[in-house]
Chain A
């Protein structure tokens, strides 16, 4: 596909009009990772990356995404909330958001409630996915996991469980990993996901003896 990694883009970037830009990766409220096709020109100066202007088309706005400010020429800024983007999101930051969310809930019972709400957001898995080949072994509850790579080389994750709490964990996992790049998924370690245990349910999946 010929994507090129250009660097981190902060608000106030300067661009030159005319050239197309392909992808914006939304990371935090103030930083973007930007990729563009090889036809764009790159300035040697790190702080002033000259970016071709993209043709604004469509951008999937999440309820929590801030408006994106993009400069189109050295002297003006357009507040743009409509941008073409392939569904690549920064898995680690999503994990941090999730962890922060659970950390902010002080009562364990409210954490359980939140988990069950997450569980209810999961789509009902087709019976064809709830098969032994998809079982995650070693869990007290039954967990089915379906992981594929989609056409854009992003990971697509489906999961289900017969336990509501475990289903909630699955839902959290999916919210972090679904749509991530393979590298991001590989880069995540079990310890990172251990932050999810802040849900106040100490190591239910991780520590329980397989044969209980």
Chain B
């Protein structure tokens, strides 16, 4: 059921009674057209203040009920682990619930009412993904379990039939394991060679080295768009051009970019692009591969089974056209629909607006973190020309990141990550065993950053007192 007109959206009641919360703002929201959205409303009567600029963090926060809880010793949750996974707005949770409550049915198989509706919604979600990344056709979007599976799909399906001994695959030393290990497996199977691009002194992948590594032997360039550790952004459009110049294909790991900025696969000129739903306000268990039509059409299947076939005989089978060819078995239907709703939600805000806000947050985080003595942040320093993503991987001299993260969580309710963030080669290259990482999303606020900084200072003081 869709609601027309402007709705005055009031902050949740917990926001009213918590004195630590920022002053009340009254954001106006146009409801989206998806199945249902829930709006929290305050029970007290309030007067509308003069229009003050509302930060995106404050205006969107009420959509994320999970952020309003207390953890451990009664501290309010400060969730700064968004590069690991994002929280979901009520609209997405409701969409998945509604699917199961109202029209759950297997897709592409039946002709009855529920099945038709489920298929419609599922395919609508595919069109939403295509439109979100500006893919020319929705058939160029293959639903997978996540980005990791999407990369494996390319490695097994495209890689095995296109690479031979002596061919080269170029990746950077800062890739996530999901874009290193499948290529290692592929290299082992085909005899192809994996080449790694090192970092500059500013701790970004050295694109000069990358250019030098490209040759006629290069068949694939696999790079991240935004680094989950260094917070750096690669010039994908240029890299794609250079790859094509030597006759190579390019695969882009867009897990940390699609959720945070405008990503246009046609403008970038990429051959393959992968992303995961759970990092962009969507459910876990669903992700996608964008692949150019002509590439997908020539690729053999990845997994075999139902859905991806055309005809099945005893001694052979014929296969369906993409994207079905790569979607064996019953898909994560509700989750795909949830992803579609997440895309609606993000589009309603506007990816450019999200990006601009996050640049602001990124600078605020970096400046404040950098100012603490003994803190070492990895990746490039932000500047006019260098925009960092809204995350900082860092170490504090003399402290182990695990100790920092444990204390932050236990004493202050601050959730960050510690470890190697699925980037062991990068950590080895930087000469460290592990790092701590705080990563933000558009529903975080400057106050979240302030809480984190205060908590970190307290943590450092605590551990230092023992020395």
Contact = CB atoms under 8 A, between A and B. Distances in A.
Interface of A: 108-109, 112, 116, 120, 140-142, 161-166, 200-201, 204, 208, 211-212
Interface residues of B, number: 22
- The interface residues of chain B, by DSSP majority, are classed as mixed
A211 to B, nearest CB: 6
A201 B409 CA distance: 10
B434 A141 contact: yes
Given A109-B462, A165-B400, A212-B418, 6 more contacts: A108-B73, A108-B410, A141-B400, A163-B403, A165-B403, A166-B402
Contact of B402 (A108, A112, A204): A204
Nearest to B417: A212
B433 A109 contact: no
B407 A112 contact: yes
B395 to A, nearest CB: 11
B414 to A, nearest CB: 15
B421 A109 contact: no
B422 A163 contact: no
5 contacts: A141-B400, A142-B433, A166-B403, A208-B419, A211-B420
Contacts of B434: 140-141
A146 B393 CA distance: 32
A166 B433 CA distance: 15
Interface in B353-407: 399-400, 402-403, 406-407
A64 B247 CA distance: 76
A211 B411 contact: no
Nearest to B423: A211
A161 B73 CA distance: 27
Contacts of A142: 433
B113 interface: no
B466 interface: yes
Contact of B406 (A120, A204, A211, A212): A204
B177 interface: yes
B463 A164 contact: yes
Given A140-B419, A212-B419, A212-B421, A162 B466 contact: no
Interface in B38-89: 72-73
A211 B180 CA distance: 14
A140 B466 contact: no
Contacts of A140: 402, 418-419, 434
Contacts of A164: 399-400, 403, 463, 466
A142 B433 CA distance: 8
A165 B421 contact: no
Interface of B: 72-73, 177, 399-400, 402-403, 406-407, 410-411, 417-422, 433-434, 462-463, 466
Contacts, number: 55
B402 A163 contact: yes
B403 A211 contact: no
A92 to B, nearest CB: 28
A212 B401 CA distance: 12
A173 B433 CA distance: 24
A108 B72 contact: yes
B411 A108 contact: yes
Which 7 pairs of residues, A with B, have the shortest CB-CB distance?
A163-B400, A212-B419, A163-B402, A140-B402, A141-B402, A165-B403, A140-B419
A160 to B, nearest CB: 12
Contacts of B421: 212
Given A141-B434, A212-B417, A212-B422, A200 B410 contact: yes
B466 A116 contact: yes
A64 to B, nearest CB: 24
Contact of B433 (A120, A162, A201): A162
A120 B465 CA distance: 13
Contact of B420 (A109, A204, A212): A212
A120 B433 CA distance: 22
Contacts of B410: 108-109, 112, 200-201
B41 to A, nearest CB: 36
Nearest to B410: A108
A124 to B, nearest CB: 14
B164 to A, nearest CB: 31
B422 A162 contact: no
Among B399, B403, B433, the most chain A Cβ lie within 10 Å of the Cβ of B403
A166 B400 CA distance: 10
B9 to A, nearest CB: 36
A178 B433 CA distance: 28
B94 to A, nearest CB: 30
Contact of A211 (B177, B407, B418, B463): B177
Given A109-B411, A141-B434, A120 B466 contact: yes
Contacts of A211: 177, 419-420, 422
Contacts of B419: 140, 208, 211-212
A9 B418 CA distance: 51
A164 B410 CA distance: 15
B174 to A, nearest CB: 16
A161 B400 CA distance: 10
A66 B418 CA distance: 45
Contacts of B420: 211-212
A50 to B, nearest CB: 53
Contacts of B402: 140-141, 163, 165-166, 204
A38 to B, nearest CB: 51
B108 to A, nearest CB: 35
A194 B54 CA distance: 47
Contacts of A162: 400, 433
A202 B419 CA distance: 17
Nearest to A161: B400
Contacts of A141: 400, 402, 434
Nearest to A109: B411
A172 to B, nearest CB: 16
B186 to A, nearest CB: 20
B254 to A, nearest CB: 21
Nearest to A211: B422
A165 B407 CA distance: 10
Nearest to A116: B466
Nearest to A163: B400
A166 B402 CA distance: 9
